[in-house]
Each structure stands twice: as structure tokens, then as C-alpha cells.
Amino acid sequence: MNVGDPLLEPLELVDVVGDVRFEDPFRRLEDESPAVLRWQAERDAEARAYLRRLPGYDELATSLTAHLHACDRNPPARGGDRWFRVDAEPDGSGSILRVSRRPSTEGTVLVRADDLEPGPFPSIDWIVPSPRGAMVAVGASSRGDEQSVLHVLHGVTGHPVVRPVPFVAEGHIAWLPEGGGLYCCAGSARDFERAAQRVLFVEPGRLPRELPLPARHEEHRLAVAISDDGRHLAVTGNPYAPRLLCVLDRTSKRWSRMAPLPDDAVFAGVLVRGRYVAVTTIGAPRGRLVAAEVATVDDRGTWREIVPEGTGVLRSIAAAGEDRLVLAEYLDGCARLRLVSLDGEPLQEVPLPGPGLVTTRPRDPAPPCGSLPAHVDADGLTFSFTTLEQAPVVLRHEFASGDTERLGEPPRAALQRVQRELRRCRAPDGATVRYDVVGTSRSGQPGPTLVLAYGGWNAVSTARAYPAALAPFLERGGTLVFAHPRGDGTFGADQWRAGRRARKLHTFDDLGAVADDLIARDVATPASLGFCGTSNGGLLAGVALTQRPDLFRAVVALVPLLDLARFPRDRLAETFAWEYGDPRLAEQAAWLREYSPYHRVTAGRCYPATLFVCGDSDVRCHAWHARKMVAALRAATSGDAPIHLRVLEGRGHATASVLASPALVAEWLGFLMHQLGLAAAAP
């Protein structure tokens, strides 16, 4: 417990915002000083040793390998008559970009991640081929820091054709129709120094040129789209509720600016045949499709509804050639792809093998709002499809024939006899909360049960996707519960808005209601119930263990946000005020003080077994959150349950969680299984 360590000597430090008090006894652990990093390394070594000594760890890591690697084959993206695909290196040490003449063949290696960005854990984060495949834009990074560097490569040789452009996060690229240059969204510094992006034009033989936008903005993520004829460029902001900011007429060099929209409204789409066609939640919480002439798109009175709000949740669209649009929707959490004409007339629904999710990122199958989960070209769609029972398979749908075929061999990983049941319960305020119960058997007796939830940022649930990282939990007889609290967007924008900002407490009330309902139905007892959450779900984990510590036997928080008073000290995290509120404003500080996990730790309470997993390169949820939380919990708890901190070297927000290796996943999964009484080794 490091008795006598000056870092752990509580400070009598209080921040006051209006009438709101935030005590901060472990402020010293925010620093990146040598002493703090030494303390962190000691805690990490302690946790690693403990986790890898748990019974069945090696066998668990081995069994996870097949499940996780089955999610490493990505669908190819088409450029002209070439197909580009990113695969993981066989040993998991990085990634490879391949090019082939057919979508179903492996092809040849165009470039390796460590050729582009040498360093620990090199990664190809995204690719966007040019329309004719002569070039391909590649985002690469190392250490999992998500600070992608744009490389534009020759589509056959892999040789660079422009000077690398730094800070091009998330791959928002718009190629000119003829493919001679591209627009990209790039930062001017690392995200933790300055989060706002700008638009650059990049072409061979010239230095990147910044496009002067018509008004100052502080959007931390921009996206660009270009019209089919190359005349207009649209700039949108905010990937969680994307909305059009402005449109450039590239011929006249004139900008059209959008009037401000509500900050929780979606209005984003594509430019086609002189019109802007967009998904919007204005007047339709489940989304509808509207169209307007580019010249009048800033006037909402000119918008014409072409696809009304339906029973599904419309999330994104893409243009496919000159005469059709692809719509991506979710019904009861399952994906649906359908085609409509430019006037919204139904053409066909893309046949899928069953209820599941479509994605271009099998390891992370829930794309943000506005991102189509398939690669689109004039002739068809290419995507991965996954279900609860079946690992992702790559599919190709051809528009002309209407056929969907599998590309490559079927996945070798699968789960047998998986059952799913959608249930409902009541939150304290009477609202209905939905959750999925997933298991391979039903004994009728309480048993090891793991609850998972995200609950924020207008995200959709992954409850219908193959649970690769959790497959051994199901195979050993455990039950998984995917909760859908207010705050996520699985069932529409109203669900998200009901768990955002001043209403965020609804998210945690809903999670507690699900846990109480599981106990009331004899699915689990507090001694066999655990919770695991990632990122915003890691915040839920922190609230769960401090708000209801008697409700869970074990809690795992992956890459969490835990101090809701101090998160704006990090420049990228400062933008999180859009979702949570700003602790520097008195009214909003009061919201945050109600649930901020670090500030809810109370001396003398018995806290459950807890593990925090962070990446030391995470620019979104920095490890200092978990450092302070671990110190607070260890000082306060009256029990003897283990409380551990794992900080993964050279890992970032994604590579410490959804992209983690089998050996790392086996640590936190083995911790949960051990605490919940589920054998890690196969029977």
C-alpha cells in the first residue's frame, strides 16, 4: 500500500465552482513526473503479476487467440480495378496493406505499417483509395496514439507520391473525382496540444494548402465530402452528431454557410447532382432523409423530405454511382442496408445472412453516426457481417444482380447454441430500459453474469456482433448482459438526449435498474454479478462501483474517464464538455459532481474487486484518471478485494481495449471470471 509514500499523502485541496466543491486529495498523481511514473510502473507490475498468476490464464489467452484473430480480416476497399485491404501481421505486431485485382484474393503486400511509421506497435489506421486506384491515402501511426500521419502512395508500387501530412486523425478524406488530389482534415498539433482541425488540399508535387473556411470554428473533428462532378465541397463537424457547416463552390470559390443548428441535431450527407441529400434528426429522432439544392441548403424552408422517419434508426447514407443512395439503418439493434433512388424511391434491400451488424472494422463494429459501415463503389458494397454466433465474414453485394456473396474462407471461430432474449425493466423514474441477455444455456439458477454497457455519445450497441473478447465467458457457462441505458443511440436520438448533459444521471439509474432486475429474476446475485465498460462505458464502471458498491462482485474499467472536474485539463478531453457539461461553469459543475466517480469515493465503504486498464499513449482518457481513482479507492475501502491499475506501454485508447492482444484481454477477462466464480480453463 506504499505506506509513507508522499504521493499518497492526501492533500486538503478543494476546487470550488459556484457552490460546488470538488475535493482532490490525490492531485499529485495527475503529473507526469518521474516519481509519479515510477509509482505507476510499480502498480502496473504489481497488477500484471497478479493477473497472470490467476488460474487458467495461459489457457484463456490461447482460447482467445482464435476468437480475436477471426476479427482481424477487414473488407477490401475498391479503387478502379484494384482492391486494397488492411490485414494484421501474423504475429500481431502491426498491420499490412495489400492490393489485388480481385476482392476475394489476398494479393500482394503494398506496404507495412512499420515502413510508414516506425515505432512500437505500428498501425495502419485507415485507407481511402483514389477513384481509379492510381493512388491510395493511408493513415498510419505508432504507439496507438491515433495521431495518424497521412501517406499518399502509388497504387501499384506503394511508393510515396506526396510528403507525409501529420495529425490526420480518423481518415476523413475526399478525393477529386479524377483522383488527382484530395482534401483531408488535419490538426495543426497533437490532439492533446490543440484538438481543432483544419481542411487541407493535397496533390502530388506541391505542398499541402490550407483551405480558408468562411468562419472560425473549434470543431475537434471535421469531415469533407465532394460532389460527383467535383464542383462542390461540403465540410461537416462533430462525428457524434454530424452537421453541415459550409459548402464551397470550387468553380466560383464562394462559400455558403449553414445557419447554426441545435447542438444535438444531425444534418449530414452527400453531394450529388447539384443537391445536398442528408440524414437529419430535426423533426425525426429516428432520422429521415431530406434533399435541397446546394445553393439553398442553408435555408431549412427549402429542404424536401424524400424518405420519412420509419421504424428503424437511420444513421448514414452514401452515394453509389449517379442514380442511387445507400441507407444504413438499425432495427432493434440489427443492421439493415437498403438502396433508394435520388428521390427516395425504394429500390432494394441488401440481403444479409441474418440478424447482425455490418461494418468495415470487425474489431469495432459500431461506427459513429454519419459513417456508412460499408465500402461503396458504383457497382456494389463490400463489408463485414457478424452475428452473435458467427465471427465476421466479408461479403460483396453487386447492385446489378442483387446478389451477395462471401469473399474468402468462412471464419473458423463460432459459438454454439447461443440464445438471446431482449428484456425490459423500469428505471426509478418509470422509464423503460431495454437489455439483451445472452448465454449458451439456461439452468434456471443464478450464475456468473457480466453486464456491459456504453451509454453515451449517440453510439449504437454492439450487442448483435460476435463477442470475440468475451467468447470464453460464454463457452464456460457464463451469461452476458448488454444493457441499453439512456445515453446511447441504439434506439434513436431521443434515447441519447435522455442521457446527455444535465440528464446524464439517467444513464446510471438505468444501469442500476438492469442489475436489480437481473437479481430479481434470479439470473445473478451480487456475488456473481460483474460489470465491464470501455471509454464512456469505463465512466459507467466508475459510477457503478461508487454509486452501488454492494451490487457488483467485480468491475473492470477499460480506458476510463473518472474525474469529471478535471477532464478539461487535457485539450482533446476538453471537447467532452459537449456531451457531459463543463465543470468550469457552476450549473454544469453541479451535474458532474453528482456522479463523478473519483469524487464519490467514500471512506469506510467496502468496494468490489476492481481493475482499471489504461494505455500510456491514450489522448482521450489519460491514465491519470485511473491513477487518482486507484489511490482513492485503496485509501477508502474497508474491504480486502483487490484494486489494481494496469497501464499498457505503447498502447492508446483503442489498442488498449478493442484492439488489445489475446494476452492482454486474458488479463481482465480472467480477473472477472476468477471473481465471479467461472473457471478460466475449459472443462
pLDDT averaged per 10 residues, the chain (length 683): 76 96 98 97 98 97 94 94 92 89 94 92 94 97 92 97 93 93 94 87 95 81 95 94 95 92 95 96 97 94 97 96 94 96 96 95 90 95 95 96 91 87 96 94 83 97 95 96 97 97 98 98 97 98 96 98 97 94 97 98 98 96 98 98 97 93 97 95 70
Give residues with Cβ within 8 angstroms of 205, minimum separation 6: 162
CATH tag, 6-65+414-420+434-482+526-676: 3.40.50.1820
Position 2 scores a pLDDT of 47
Greatest alpha-carbon pair distance for the chain in Å reads 73
Which DSSP letter does residue 82 get?
A: E
Position 409 scores a pLDDT of 83
Helices 34-52, 662-676: axis angle to 10 degrees equals: 70
> Beta strands 357-359 and 375-376: pairing type?
unpaired
d(CA 227, CA 225): 7
State the number of CA atoms in the 13 A half-sphere of 530 facing the CB. 29
Amino acid at residue number 423: R
Cell of 264: 444535438
Distance of CA 617 to the CA centre of its chain: 17
d(CA 90, CA 69): 9
In Å, how far are 510, 550, 658 from 526, measured between CA atoms?
A: 17, 7, 27
In Å, how far are 126, 324, 448, 648 from 129, measured between CA atoms?
A: 10, 21, 46, 33
Domain coordinates in residue numbering, the chain: 6-65+414-420+434-482+526-676, 72-211
Q: Which of 674, 649, 420 has its CA nearest to residue 553?
A: 674
Position 443 scores a pLDDT of 66
86: β partners = 97
| Torsion angle (degrees, nearest 10) of CA 631, 634, 635, 639 | 170
Cell of 655: 489498442
Assigned architecture for domain 72-211: 7 Propeller (2.130)
Helices 662-676, 57-69: axis angle to 10 degrees equals: 130
Cell of 228: 460527383
What's this model's pTM, rounded to 2 decimal places? 0.96
Position 1 scores a pLDDT of 44
Radius of gyration of the chain (CA): 24
Asked whether the beta carbons of 678 and 669 are under 8 A apart, the reply is no
Quick one: which H or E segment has residue 479? strand 479-484
| Torsion angle (degrees, nearest 10) of CA 241, 246, 248, 253 | -160
Q: Same CATH fold, 72-211 and 6-65+414-420+434-482+526-676?
A: no
Asked whether the beta carbons of 266 and 494 are under 8 A apart, the reply is no
| Torsion angle (degrees, nearest 10) of CA 531, 534, 537, 542 | 60
Position 91 scores a pLDDT of 75
Cell of 114: 512499420
Q: Which of 499, 513, 508 has its CA nearest to residue 458?
A: 499
Cell of 346: 425504394
Q: In which residue are the cell numbers 442496408 written?
A: 337
Q: In which residue are the cell numbers 444531425 written?
A: 266
d(CA 374, CA 362): 11
Position 624 scores a pLDDT of 98
Q: Which of 588, 94, 47, 75 has its CA nearest to residue 377?
A: 75
> Beta strands 404-407 and 419-426: pairing type?
unpaired
Backbone phi and psi for residue 668, each to the nearest 5 degrees, phi listed first: -75, -35
Q: Which of 204, 190, 242 has its CA nearest to residue 221?
A: 242
d(CA 303, CA 503): 31
